[in-house]
Amino acid sequence: MPDKSLLAEPGGGTHAHGSCRGDIGRRVAARRQQLGLSREEVAVRAGSAPGYIQYLEEQPATPGIGFLLRLADALETSVVELTGGTADLPPGTGHAPLHPELVDLGLDECRTLLGTHGVGHVAVTTREGPAILPVSYLVEDGEVAFRVAPEALAPLTGGGRMAFEVDHIDDALCRGWSVLVVGTPHTVTDPEDVHRLDDQAYGTPWGEGDRACWVALTPDRVSGRRIDVPYAHA
């Protein structure tokens, strides 16, 4: 039986849009919100003042490399990611680690990594066969919701199941993580529900305009794995 509580966070709530003016600030704010951290929590992790984290997110700023290293570690990412160094690089350019550690993630960490918004991949059966589609998504009421073109999906039936995946790979440190959500999809047709999802979405549908429809995935299984290497935290 699908269980929306798998992705439901205590107390509900969503992250508000910020008015971040610097490129680094936008990436810091997005990553912080994805991890579900407050500015105060990031400041403690990075050995900084909460006021500076706010300044960094909202104003053009150029932090020193020492602080960037601490901030990247606090946000569980890399300096290259925070400064946009991977924006135009193809994925998978790094080498696989020699001695990786594959760690199963708990449900709480999966929820944190999934965040409230992001970009992921959904495995679907189309009229032309199996396909993996990149989608922008949001987590709402314990479900993963995303927009696709009507013809991108085979007719959704009560017994059908779907897989959704989101991941992050740090090529520089040869580590990463992946969260998988498997469940039952259904098309969102109620006008009020559609309007609510449209309001929460960070942008317009990718290339489909008004033709795109919302699909919500009710999870019955959420799992995750982290690929780590001991020296990555040295």
For residue 220, what is the domain's CATH number?
A: 2.30.110.10
pLDDT over 90 at 166, yes or no: yes
CA distances from 147 to 14, 50, 187 (A): 19, 36, 10
Give the pTM: 0.61
Q: What is the pLDDT of residue 79?
A: 84
Average pLDDT, the chain: 79
Instruction: Note whether residue 8 is domain-resident.
Output: no
Domain range for 192 is 101-233
Among all chains, which residue has been given the structure tokens 């909202």?
A: 58
| CATH classification of the domain holding 62 | 1.10.260.40
Question: Which residues have C-beta within 8 Å of that of residue 199, sequence separation ≥ 6?
Answer: none
Instruction: Note whether residue 25 is domain-resident.
Output: yes
What total number of domains does the chain contain? 2
Instruction: Note whether residue 93 is domain-resident.
Output: no
Last-in-domain residue among 52, 82, 112: 82
On whether both 111 and 52 belong to a single domain, the answer is no
Q: What is the pLDDT of residue 86?
A: 57
CA distances from 144 to 73, 117, 187, 203, 233 (A): 28, 9, 12, 16, 32
Last-in-domain residue among 82, 115, 130: 82
* Cβ-contact 185, 215 below 8 angstroms: yes
Q: Which neighbouring-strand residues pair with 175?
A: 170
On whether both 110 and 206 belong to a single domain, the answer is yes
Instruction: Note whether residue 91 is domain-resident.
Output: no
On whether both 148 and 227 belong to a single domain, the answer is yes
On whether both 62 and 170 belong to a single domain, the answer is no
Query: What SS3 state is found at 130?
Result: strand
On whether both 125 and 224 belong to a single domain, the answer is yes
Angstrom distance (rounded) from CA 62 to CA 39: 18
pLDDT over 70 at 1, yes or no: no
Instruction: Note whether residue 105 is domain-resident.
Output: yes
Summarised one tens digit per residue, pLDDT across range 54-106 is: 998 888 878 888 888 999 889 988 888 888 765 544 555 555 656 677 889 99
pLDDT over 80 at 172, yes or no: no
